[in-house]
Amino acid sequence: MSVASSEDLAPPLEAGTALYREEEKTAKKKKEKKKKSKGLANVFCVFSKGKKKKGQLSSAEPEGAARSRQGLDGPPPTAAAGPEVPESVFLHLGRTMKEDLEAVVERLKPLFPAEFGVVAAYAESYHQHFAAHLAAVTQFELCERDTYMLLVWVQNLYPNDIINSPNLAGELQGVGLGSLLPPRQIRLLEATFLSNEAANVRELMDRALELEAQHWAEDVPPQRLDGHCHSELAIDIIQIISQAQAKAESITLDLGSQIKQVLLAELPAFLRSYQRAFNEFLERGKQLRNYRANVIANINNCLSFRMSMEQKWQVPQDTLSLLLGPLGELKSHGFDTLLQNLREDLKPLFKRFTHTRWAAPMETVEKIITTVDMRLPEFSELQDCFREELMEAVHLHLVKEYIIQLSKRRLVLKTAEQQQQLAGHILANADTIQHFCTQHGSPATWLQPALPTLAEIIRLQDPSAIKIEVATYATCYPDFSKGHLSAILSIKGNLSNSEVKSIRSILDVSTGAQEPSRSLFSLIKVG
């Protein structure tokens, strides 16, 4: 993971429960060596700048608990003193309270009748004093880390690792201590935490993108991973978001769910920024040595983003569409860039159809297929799914350009034999194109009838049969218009004007077809 996206994200649970439990282990070792607890006096002196000592120990009171009460008897911190709310204070405070309550259970409880409720009395006393101190602490302006640690303490460590710890849960069951802070105060702290984390995540994502764009501009080659061009940007962004969510979950699982929605709301703006930065690179970086490799790496990035959204984050469908939009545009622009040289190579080859008046179309198609085949290794470092998508784009381009040449209105065949011969050529060409593209991974089965059906329209002589074929074709390709039909019918020089008009009218009848999910004829302009 890049430095820009990891080092500044505040660690989640490690800073809280892990460090707390480490102190707890250390405390247990000291207890085994029979060292006495220092109590809360030393802890709260951090808050209150020191308190004067109280009287002598009671003969029935454990020394640790007595010393703790000395600190608890002091007043809460004041604005004059000012909070110093370091995380070590929270952690040491929790360890000390837990040790002292365990000491009360082990050594003090047996000395009093059960109805005295000694453990409950101590726990309530601790709880009240802690609540008073924390209420005072929240009056100060807290930094981001202190807000986080306060929430971890109040929402996680205190209730789970202390009150419900194995040695105390049974003793404190039914005491009803409640929360250290009122719900309204907790909600305010949580709102502040969510706002802070959203700002941090925005900054880290922007920094990661800035670093990535700098690598493009400096012509840094992308990494290669399993034979594919690879960028760390998607991994960085995913990790930034995952760490922020884990940090929230270290407070409560509910807060983790809340921050997920907050962070997903940040993603669309970032992805649009990513798309803009990539488009700028496409325009400015054409002369760079690693230009195409970096284009491929960024297209491959889209897969990591999409998989995380669909699987790890389980994004709702409406939100997913919003997020995938910029990625789809980025991928599309990347494909256009990668295919630009191939399209330029093919342009003069397709023009041969009209220049030769379709005299030897198979020879032209074979030259087109050879040209495409020579270019395919350039796309080998795409992820498999994107290589298939790019091959579908090639497939679409070949079919589209072939139809454009048929629609030039420069070929007029007046006999049925001529039309049947052309239809045979089109069928053979269509089979060659379809076989080559599917063999190399194109999933575009929807393109299969595009050329054969046009060949059939050209071959048929009965206007009624042509009408049926046109109606069927319009259901497959709803963007097939009267203009496109007229261009194809112009090849059939033996049709009368009235027959052409009658055939065209079939497109006035609604076929019930919806708007095309994929475009073919809307990409073809006819005069």
Characterize 239-277 residue by residue with b for buried, 16 or more Cβ atoms within 10 angstroms of its Cβ, and e for exposed. bbbbbbbbbbbbbbeebbebbbebbbebbeebbebbbeb
- Note the pLDDT of residue 36: 37
Q: Which helix (H) or strand (E) holds 225?
A: strand 223-225
Q: How many CA atoms lie within 13 A of 451 on its CB side?
A: 27
Q: Which DSSP state fits 518?
A: S
Single pTM value for the model = 0.78
Do 262 and 198 contact (CB within 8 A), yes or no?
Answer: yes
**Tokens 């006393």, residue located:** 125
Nearest-angstrom CA–CA distance, 471 and 475: 7
Kind and range of the H or E run holding 229? strand 228-230
Q: Which residue has the tokens 């007029």?
A: 412
Residues 426, 455 contacting (CB under 8 angstroms): yes
Q: What is the DSSP letter of 3?
A: G
> What pLDDT is stored for residue 415 in this prediction?
96
| Short-list 344, 350, 379, CA closest to 367 | 350
Q: Amino acid identity of 265?
A: A
Q: Dihedral sign, CA of 169, 175, 176, 179?
A: negative
Nearest-angstrom CA–CA distance, 276 and 311: 26
What's at 517, amino acid-wise?
S
The residues of the chain scoring below 50 in pLDDT are 1-17, 19-20, 27, 30-84
Three-class SS of 253-295 = HHHHHHHHHHHHHHHHHHHHHHHHHHHHHHHHCCCCCCHHHHH
d(CA 150, CA 155): 8
The closest alpha carbon to 177, from 113, 111, 129, belongs to 129
Quickly list H helices, 291-316: 291-307
DSSP string, 43-84: HHHHHHS------PPPTTS-HHHHHHHHHHTSPPP-TTT---
| Residues in a beta bridge with 223 | 230
Measure the CA–CA gap between 435 and 172, rounded to whole angstroms. Answer: 75
Structure tokens at 101: 């309550």
> In this structure, what token pair is assigned to residue 175?
């005491």
In this structure, the number of other CB atoms found within 10 A of the CB of residue 320 comes to: 16
Give the pLDDT of residue 94. 77
Contact in structure between 255 and 196 (CB atoms under 8 Å): no
Backbone angles phi, psi at 256, to 5 degrees: -60, -40
CA distance 366 to 371: 9
pLDDT at 256: 94
